[in-house]
């Protein structure tokens, strides 16, 4: 069987699952799975760029995804009236001052001769800068957070169309990736893993605690959409007539219509990125990246700047994760920092890439769809399995209650075991690298 | 100005908690650094190994408590600790046998080991949550304080109280004993020397007849012991919650790298550097400052550099600085 035929069959099987889900849970749920699968495929594409092309191990995907989500809020949400004059400019100025302090300290440390005087001056700059920064930052934050805290209490966004947030999310993630890559690349491969683990946790901590920026755990709801609202469609006589024309209830028709529009947008982005990734993989640049991955020493001897290339591909991959994160928040219509779990947003993406076939873009896309399907359906299946196991136990027994309650944690276990098994017995994945 | 009260307040809120936390980090970082030195990869599953060992200890503690067995003023968990260590040893030997050994035989790249250890992390995490649930568990009993704040105030007549929790005392004492034992083992015994030789130069060690599988096994056993002790001490001092152990991974790695990965002495120093930075940066200095500064200069804010929600950021920033300035760490680790 040729590989093209095999790939077609694999994709056909995955897409055939969508109508099957629709049979059991309705088209609404099926299209939701499809949309999430498309987003997951984009994330997997980004990680594949880092791992499959360059062998870089990124454990902070969650952080880049969350930054993308933040971009959706910062771009899409309307400006909070009065927030900028109350404290917004103060916050921006203080952050700028903070950056200036760090920059100044680095500059001085570089210029002055080594010795206790240098330590003293650098410390002095840092402490004085920090005091000024806090002096300006704290009252500004207080002023912003005091504005109608139940509804806003944050700066709001720019009020631009939310689609713009997608590339912006990519840019934010790229910025964070640059910071990490610049520090940790060029050292041992483990260091990048540890540094990305750290930045992801910190980005989530910032989203949870900086209320002026993201409303923290109060969540931002009602992020504007690029597609019409269901309720507007239901009130639109022309739409209702058309739905009646094909014999579908207007309410169901409107939800499905909206999901199909999202599906079209996501599919467009996915195909575009996939095309770019394929072009990159088959270009001289892609061959160079794989040569570096397979033998760094040899590539370096051929005059390739390994660290710079690694930084490049690390930033590109993270940017794709950021784009996917912005899309995800757009689809959800809300930013809930509490939902960013490493299992769901770092680890699951890794499983997608490795199961799909690392180093192969089509494999990553396939993996993204398959694993998301399993993840989504796994919850109900896991519960069903647990109920079947415990069916013979008497009702009300402590063991039974414990088992059913902990079925939710079985996902961690199953996904972990799945990764270990694939790594061990089929490390090349479903669609192996050519 | 009142330096004595200031010092007591400082000890109470900064020095003692930081020393206790530093000991816990140091024990954790020692485990990471030993694995790094011998097996040559960063073990992401270490946090969850700690959680597993602590969980076994918690379960055995509950069993003892239900039997009415106790150590009087000391926590029963100390009695259960050996069982926790045994359970953890069984676990790490099993994972080594069915997971890591295969890749060792293949001479896989370190990054593959790291990914595999991430897989093990999630399996362990799921296992711990499956067995004991994701919530906080209390297993501390016995006396709560060696010296409570009130007794100290009555004893000395000072305005500030100095509370010294039993768990802090036990943590510091245990850490000292464990570290002394470990260094005696590494430096004085034949097995310990063979471990260091293997860590320094694998090929040379093999030529001189050291059995690598035996070295690896002993390393895992020691690491299981260290991880369980660190996990139980942390659980006693704070509380046992599976997810916090995953989050401890970052400060532990930061400690090991600050000290120099692969260097046991560095791991201990790194643990204290991270712990002291974390506590001093997130502590509200108002109280101490009011005692030290003249009344007119007394601060009206909390004088807290960072909110406690950003504890992780402290270890992370230190980690970044070390990677930028001196990637081998303070004590010349193996890794560049």
DSSP letter for each residue of A323-379: HHHHHHHHHHTEE-GGG--HIIIIIHHHHHHHHH-TT-HHHHHHHHHHHHHHHHHHH
How buried is A434 (Cβ within 10 angstroms: 0-12 exposed, 13-18 middle, 19+ buried)? exposed
**Interface mutation target, options A184, A191, A389, A405, chain B, most CBs of B under 10 Å:** A191
- pLDDT of the residue at B1: 61
Structural domain includes residue A434: no
- Shared domain for A122 and A213, answered yes or no, is no
| pTM for the full predicted model | 0.88
- pLDDT of the residue at B336: 43
- Shared domain for A200 and A100, answered yes or no, is no
**Interface mutation target, options A63, A126, A198, chain B, most CBs of B under 10 Å:** A198
What tokens does B78 get?
A: 């100390």
Nearest to A347 among B99, B122, B134 (CB): B122
At A201, which CATH number?
Answer: 1.10.3470
Per DSSP, the residues of A26-69 read: HHHHHHHHHHHHHHHHHHHHHHHIIIIIH------HHHHHHHHH
B248 touches chain A (CB under 8 A): no
Whose CA is closest to A403, among B133, B240, B122, B51? B133
Higher pLDDT, A359 or A267: A267
Identify the domain containing residue A104 by its residue range.
Answer: 79-155
- Shared domain for A164 and A121, answered yes or no, is no
Indicate the helix (H) or strand (E) that contains A421.
Answer: helix A410-425
User: Are B41 and A57 within 8 A, CB to CB?
Assistant: no
Structural domain includes residue A282: yes
Residues from chain B that touch A184, judged by Cβ atoms under 8 A, are: 323
What mean pLDDT comes out for the span A364-374?
92
Q: Give the integer Cα–Cα distance in Å for A311 and A306.
A: 9
What mean pLDDT comes out for the span A208-225?
87
- Shared domain for A57 and A89, answered yes or no, is no
Q: Collapsing DSSP states into helix, strand and coil, what is residue B110?
A: helix
Nearest to A59 among B118, B125, B257 (CB): B118
User: Are B133 and A405 within 8 A, CB to CB?
Assistant: yes
Among A116, A140, A155, give the residue marking a domain's end. Answer: A155
A228 touches chain B (CB under 8 A): no
- Shared domain for A353 and A414, answered yes or no, is yes
What ipTM was predicted for this assembly?
Answer: 0.85
- Shared domain for A172 and A147, answered yes or no, is no
Structural domain includes residue A431: no
Q: Give the integer Cα–Cα distance in Å for B33 and B10.
A: 31
- Shared domain for A242 and A347, answered yes or no, is yes
pLDDT digits (tens, 9 = 90+) for A123-147: 899 989 988 888 888 888 888 888 8
> Does B335 score more than 60 pLDDT?
no
Nearest to B110 among A189, A201, A208 (CB): A189
User: Are B323 and A424 within 8 A, CB to CB?
Assistant: no
Structural domain includes residue A353: yes
- Shared domain for A55 and A112, answered yes or no, is no
User: Are A412 and B129 within 8 A, CB to CB?
Assistant: yes
Q: What is the mean pLDDT of chain A?
A: 88
Instruction: Determine which of A181-185, B163-167, B295-299 has the lowest per-residue pLDDT on average.
Output: B295-299
Structural domain includes residue A121: yes
Higher pLDDT, B164 or A188: B164
- Name the domain count of chain A: 2
Whose CA is closest to A50, among A427, A354, A371? A354
B43 touches chain A (CB under 8 A): no
Among A155, A182, A211, give the residue marking a domain's end. Answer: A155
User: Are A209 and B310 within 8 A, CB to CB?
Assistant: yes
- Shared domain for A267 and A167, answered yes or no, is yes
Structural domain includes residue A430: no
Among A107, A137, A155, give the residue marking a domain's end. Answer: A155
Structural domain includes residue A432: no
Quote the minimal CA–CA distance from A429 to chain B in Å. 15
B207 touches chain A (CB under 8 A): no
- Shared domain for A249 and A375, answered yes or no, is yes
Indicate the helix (H) or strand (E) that contains A220.
Answer: strand A220-221
- Shared domain for A176 and A128, answered yes or no, is no
What mean pLDDT comes out for the span B237-241?
89
- Shared domain for A386 and A272, answered yes or no, is yes
Alpha carbon A306 to chain centroid, angstroms: 26
Nearest to A202 among B246, B257, B313 (CB): B313
Quote the minimal CA–CA distance from B324 to chain A in Å. 6
Sort strands A220-221 and B164-165 into parallel, antiparallel or unpaired.
unpaired
pLDDT digits (tens, 9 = 90+) for B142-198: 888 888 888 888 888 888 888 888 899 999 999 999 999 999 999 999 999 999 899
Structural domain includes residue A226: yes
Return left, alpha or beta for B17; rule: phi > 0 is left, psi -120 to 50 is alpha, else beta.
alpha
């Amino acid at each position: 069987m040729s590989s093209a035929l095999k790939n077609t069959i694999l994709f056909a099987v995955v897409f055939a699952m969508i109508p099957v889900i629709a049979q059991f849970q309705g088209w609404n749920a099926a299209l939701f799975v499809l949309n999430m699968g498309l987003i997951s495929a984009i994330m997997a594409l980004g990680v594949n760029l880092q791992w499959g092309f360059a062998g870089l191990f990124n454990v902070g995907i969650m952080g880049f995804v969350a930054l993308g989500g933040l971009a959706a809020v910062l771009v899409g949400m309307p400006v909070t009236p009065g927030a900028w004059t109350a404290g917004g400019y103060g916050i921006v100025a203080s952050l700028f001052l903070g950056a200036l302090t760090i920059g100044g300290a680095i500059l001085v440390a570089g210029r002055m001769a080594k010795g206790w005087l240098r330590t003293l001056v650098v410390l002095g700059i840092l402490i004085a800068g920090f005091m000024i920064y806090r002096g300006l930052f704290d009252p500004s934050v207080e002023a912003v957070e005091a504005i109608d805290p139940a509804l806003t209490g944050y700066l709001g966004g720019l009020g631009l169309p939310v689609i713009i947030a997608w590339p912006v999310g990519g840019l934010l993630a790229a910025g964070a990736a640059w910071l990490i890559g610049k520090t940790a690349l060029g050292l041992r491969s483990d260091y990048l893993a540890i540094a990305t683990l750290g930045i992801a946790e910190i980005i989530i901590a910032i989203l949870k605690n900086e209320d002026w920026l993201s409303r923290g755990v109060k969540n931002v709801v009602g992020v504007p959409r690029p597609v019409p609202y269901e309720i507007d469609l239901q009130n639109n006589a022309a739409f209702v007539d058309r739905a009646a024309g094909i014999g579908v209830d207007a309410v169901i028709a409107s939800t499905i219509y909206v999901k199909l529009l999202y599906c079209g947008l996501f599919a467009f982005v996915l195909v575009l990125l996939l095309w770019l990734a394929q072009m990159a993989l088959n270009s001289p640049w892609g061959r160079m990246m794989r040569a570096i991955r397979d033998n760094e020493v040899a590539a370096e001897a051929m005059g390739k700047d390994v660290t710079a290339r690694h930084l490049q591909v690390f930033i590109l991959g993270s940017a794709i994760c950021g784009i996917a994160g912005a899309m995800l928040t757009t689809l959800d219509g809300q930013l809930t920092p509490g939902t960013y779990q490493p299992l769901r947003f770092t680890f699951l993406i890794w499983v997608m890439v490795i199961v799909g076939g690392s180093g192969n873009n089509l494999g990553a896309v396939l993996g993204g769809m398959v694993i998301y399907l399993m993840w989504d359906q796994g919850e109900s299946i896991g519960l069903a399995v647990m109920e079947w196991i415990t069916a013979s136990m008497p009702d009300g027994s402590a063991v039974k209650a414990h088992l059913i309650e902990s079925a939710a944690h079985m996902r961690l276990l199953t996904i972990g075991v799945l990764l270990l098994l694939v790594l061990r017995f089929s490390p090349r994945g479903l669609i192996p690298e050519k | 100005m009142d330096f004595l009260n200031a010092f007591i307040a400082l000890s109470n809120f900064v020095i003692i908690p930081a020393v206790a936390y530093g000991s816990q980090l140091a024990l954790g970082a020692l485990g990471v650094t030993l694995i790094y030195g011998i097996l040559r990869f960063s073990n992401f599953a270490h946090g969850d190994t700690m959680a597993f060992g602590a969980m076994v200890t918690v379960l055995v503690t509950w069993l003892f408590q239900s039997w009415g067995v106790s150590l009087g003023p000391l926590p029963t968990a100390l009695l259960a600790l050996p069982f926790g260590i045994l359970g953890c040893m069984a676990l790490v030997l099993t994972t080594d046998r069915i997971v890591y050994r295969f890749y060792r035989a293949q001479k896989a790249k370190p990054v593959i080991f790291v990914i595999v250890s991430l897989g093990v992390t999630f399996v362990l995490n799921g296992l711990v949550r499956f067995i004991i649930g994701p919530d906080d568990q209390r297993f501390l009993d016995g006396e709560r304080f060696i010296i409570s704040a009130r007794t100290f105030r009555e004893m000395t007549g000072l305005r500030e109280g100095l509370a010294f929790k039993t768990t802090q005392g036990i943590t510091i004492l245990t850490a000292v004993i464990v570290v002394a034992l470990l260094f005696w083992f590494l430096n004085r015994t034949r097995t310990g020397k063979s471990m260091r030789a293997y860590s320094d130069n694998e090929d040379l060690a093999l030529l001189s007849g050291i059995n690598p599988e035996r070295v690896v096994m002993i390393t895992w056993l020691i690491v299981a012991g260290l991880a369980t002790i660190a996990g139980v001490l942390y659980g006693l001092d704070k509380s046992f919650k599976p997810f916090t152990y995953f989050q401890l991974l970052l400060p532990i790695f930061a400690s090991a790298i600050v000290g120099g990965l692969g260097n046991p002495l560095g791991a201990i120093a790194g643990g204290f550097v991270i712990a002291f930075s974390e506590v001093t940066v997130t502590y509200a200095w108002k109280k101490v400052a009011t005692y030290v500064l003249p009344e007119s200069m007394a601060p009206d804010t909390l004088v807290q550099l960072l909110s406690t929600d950003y504890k992780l950021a402290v270890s992370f920033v230190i980690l970044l600085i070390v990677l930028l300035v001196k990637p081998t760490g303070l004590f010349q680790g193996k890794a560049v």
